[in-house]
Amino acid sequence: MYIGVDYYPEQWPRTQWDKDIQLMKTLGINVVRMAEFGWSLMETEEGCYDFSLFDDVMDRFDRAGMAVVLGTPTATPPPWMVEAYPEIQPVDKNGRTVSIGARRHYTVNSRTYQGKTRQIVEAMGRHFRHHPALIGWQVDNEYGHEASDRSYGEEDARAFRQWLERKYGTLENVNKRWGTVFWSQVYTSWEQIPVPLPVYQEHNPSLLLDFDRFCADAYDIYNQLQVDALRTWIPDSQFITHNFVYSGLALDQKKMAENLDFISFDNYPVWGGLAEPIPPAATARQLDLCRGTKQETGYWVMEELSGAQGWSQIGYLPRPGHLKLWTYQAISRGAEAIVYFRWRAARFGTEQFCHGILDHDGVPRRKFDETKEVIQSLETVGDRWITAEVTADIGFYHDPENEWAWKIQPQSDQFDYAQEALRFYEPAFAWNVPVDMIREDADISRYRLIIVPLYFLTKPGFQEKLEYYVRSGGTVVFTYRTGVKDADNIVTEKTLPGSLAALVGAEIHEYESIRENNYAVIEGVKGAVAGEKAEAHVWCDYLVPDTAETLAVYRDGWVDERAAITKNSVGEGKVYYIGCGVNTDFLYTLYRDMFEDAGVSIMETPKNVEMVRREGKSENFISIMNHDTEKAGEITLPPGTWTEPATGEYFQERMVLPALGSMLLVQHCEN
């Protein structure tokens, strides 16, 4: 398998290059990514190309037997371009032009920038395509990151109106589907339609959702432009990927992935503003999202954190063990290559404090040793591990349009999409049950249970699919605020949960936004949760069961006894409705019961210990990662004898994993 580093030869003297390559070889590195911020060097003035620096360094990597992934440099248009074509600059949500001086200072809607992009990408493709070290390409870098997903300038407004015209054909359609009779917004020319710049109150939520869709489409078109420009020149053997981030941007990674050979991910469990890493389940969820973005392939981690990170603020210093742990976690959940960010910390520029495997002084120390240990541990087994299957019994619905719709109308100050999605993901993670991240177009028949959380904005056709699935014996779990909106971000006129009411077997006659410092109390009244109490935050749907049975009720003042969680039997299947933001402990109990009921097997581990199974053709893999920084974990292994390939040591039944320990175990299997 490929294990590499992100390398910036342009930031070091040429005399350093061979030393770096030599040290990388010592480490066991076999691939480097480079050039993604190199436009200034490659096109020194308009139309003058000079690829000699990268030629030279690539030749050296080639001689060292290492592979190269080249980035197209479009995330950072050079100063001469901004001077000559200031119209390429984006405009922020306050109407302010974003200055040159950092990165992503362009709008994908600029026709000028599209042209300049095509030229540099083609020039690179043409020049480098035959280089023997070159195995593939990364286009641009972290599309849309750092608020660059939405731009509000005149070029953007023009493109938005064209997009609307393509989508709706006529203004009558726009007016009707957005409900512009509200607040006298009936548009009589396309030019009247604004991009959502500041108003005294709030914009029409249907306009806002379409603006997000437009922004995502604009990036999709721009990505395709890059891919097409490359493919004009490069051989099929070279892959094209992009290193995505997953943080609620107006971006549809899955759609964009159709144009890519596989997707990549930049994995930073901790960053500049953070005093500690995000929860293990949050990282796991992002990795599962990666695996689900282009299900037919694996993905690369194109930037895997290897040291403390930050710009003017530095975050938590990863502890001894974290590097291996996060590497193993990524591979466990589908990564087939790991590229560490970065080889060595830069001495200048905004990212001076993005620490790498080496610090500024270039002296190999702890992080170097840890990286070496990881690479060695994967030497014999890595290639087999990454080809083993991650087999999930559970589908977990994730849809960017719902994320955008919730961002437009969070409804409670306690609502945060990623956090609430995590609320309903985390119990599956805790029981070590693999989940696939799916959309409405997935083949859901393969799953025993589907969790469809926060299904606020309904998607055409998905309801019918779920109904068939449940009738055929599947289990579906819905959460609060299901079925509220149609695809135009308009509220249903049916009683909630709208057209899903029959499936749920209950109606919602009242509901309430639960705000900061407030909560409701619920109590289980049936099944595994009976007698268990919990706080409910963020939102409460007060359910009136019809065919459904009540699993939990509210225990608060005026809503006392109203149903909070229900379970309905439909055909051969089951439908759960979790009506409020229930605390995690309660959900552990509920989920375990649901899993048992649906025939989903769990693997019990101590708190903070993650265990992931991958099944190969003739052997099974279990990776175990103890995210706890202080406590060792006593692990119960699945039946049989397990071998640790790195040491050849055998394990059976029980073992103890130290704090921040991680381990890969293999078992030969019959099939």
Q: Alpha-carbon distance 472 to 162, whole Å?
A: 44
Region of 32-40, 108-116, 278-286, 391-399 interacting with a copy of itself (CB under 8 A): 32-40
Establish whether 12 is an annotated binding residue. no
Residue 493 annotated to the active site: no
Task: Give the 3-state secondary structure of 591-654.
Answer: HHHHHHHHCCCCCCCCCCEEEEEEECCCEEEEEEEECCCCCCEEEEEEEEEEEECCCCEEEEEE
265 contacts 294 by C-beta, under 8 angstroms: no
Residue 351 binds to a copy of itself (criterion: CB under 8 A) = yes
Name which of 73 and 427 has its Cβ closer to a copy of itself.
73
Strands in 67-71's sheet, in edge-to-edge order, are: 239-241, 134-138, 67-71, 31-34, 2-6, 335-341, 299-305, 264-267, 243-244
In degrees and rounded to multiples of 5, residue 175 shows phi and psi of -60, -40
For residues 566-625, which are near a copy of itself according to CB under 8 A? none
How many residues line the site for a copy of itself (CB under 8 A)?
Answer: 120
Q: Which of 79, 115, 571, 640 binds a copy of itself (CB under 8 A)?
A: 79
242 contacts 138 by C-beta, under 8 angstroms: yes
For residues 503-562, which are near a copy of itself according to CB under 8 A? 509-513, 515-518, 557-558
Residue 146 binds to a copy of itself (criterion: CB under 8 A) = yes
Residues 6+ apart with CB under 8 A from 596: none
Q: Which of 15, 47, 170, 183 binds a copy of itself (CB under 8 A)?
A: 183
Residue 365 binds to a copy of itself (criterion: CB under 8 A) = yes
The residue from 36, 43, 155, 303 that is catalytic is 303
Establish whether 342 is an annotated binding residue. no
Residues 6+ apart with CB under 8 A from 328: 374, 623, 625, 662, 663, 664
- DSSP letters, 63-130, are HTT-EEEEEP-TTS--HHHHHH-GGGS-B-TTSPBPPSSSS--S-TT-HHHHHHHHHHHHHHHHHHTT
Q: Alpha-carbon distance 390 to 643, whole Å?
A: 19
Q: Which of 47, 170, 237, 361 binds a copy of itself (CB under 8 A)?
A: 361
Q: Alpha-carbon distance 553 to 562, whole Å?
A: 5
Residue 94 binds to a copy of itself (criterion: CB under 8 A) = yes
Establish whether 103 is an annotated binding residue. yes
The residue from 43, 142, 304, 420 that is catalytic is 142
Name which of 191 and 258 has its Cβ closer to a copy of itself.
191
Cβ atoms within 10 A of the Cβ of 123, count? Answer: 17
Name which of 177 and 465 has its Cβ closer to a copy of itself.
177
CB 553, min distance to a copy of itself, A:
18
Residue closest to 21 by CA, chosen among 52, 65, 54, 55: 65
Site string for a copy of itself, 632-661 (x = CB under 8 A): ------------------------------
334-to-303, 326, 387, 396, 660 alpha-carbon distances in Å = 15, 13, 9, 16, 21
Q: Which of 18, 373, 413, 649 binds a copy of itself (CB under 8 A)?
A: 413
277 contacts 316 by C-beta, under 8 angstroms: yes
CA dihedral 21, 22, 24, 26 (to 10 degrees): 170
Name which of 118 and 203 has its Cβ closer to a copy of itself.
203
Residue 197 binds to a copy of itself (criterion: CB under 8 A) = yes
Region of 181-189, 291-299, 378-386, 635-643 interacting with a copy of itself (CB under 8 A): 181-189
Residue 412 binds to a copy of itself (criterion: CB under 8 A) = yes
Q: Which of 15, 47, 170, 199 binds a copy of itself (CB under 8 A)?
A: 199
Residue 346 binds to a copy of itself (criterion: CB under 8 A) = yes
Q: Which of 65, 115, 169, 320 binds a copy of itself (CB under 8 A)?
A: 320
Residue 142 annotated to the active site: yes
For residues 476-495, which are near a copy of itself according to CB under 8 A? 488-495
622 contacts 635 by C-beta, under 8 angstroms: no
Q: Alpha-carbon distance 266 to 437, whole Å?
A: 18
Residue 460 binds to a copy of itself (criterion: CB under 8 A) = no
Name which of 309 and 432 has its Cβ closer to a copy of itself.
309
Q: Which of 45, 172, 546, 653 binds a copy of itself (CB under 8 A)?
A: 45
| Beta strand residue intervals within 462-532, DSSP E | 475-479, 506-513, 520-524
Region of 142-150, 222-230, 330-338, 584-592 interacting with a copy of itself (CB under 8 A): 142-150
Residue 654 identity: R
Name which of 182 and 650 has its Cβ closer to a copy of itself.
182
Name which of 76 and 377 has its Cβ closer to a copy of itself.
76
Residue 450 binds to a copy of itself (criterion: CB under 8 A) = no
Annotated binding site for substrate: 103, 141, 311
Annotated binding site: 103, 141, 311
The set of catalytic residues is: 142, 303
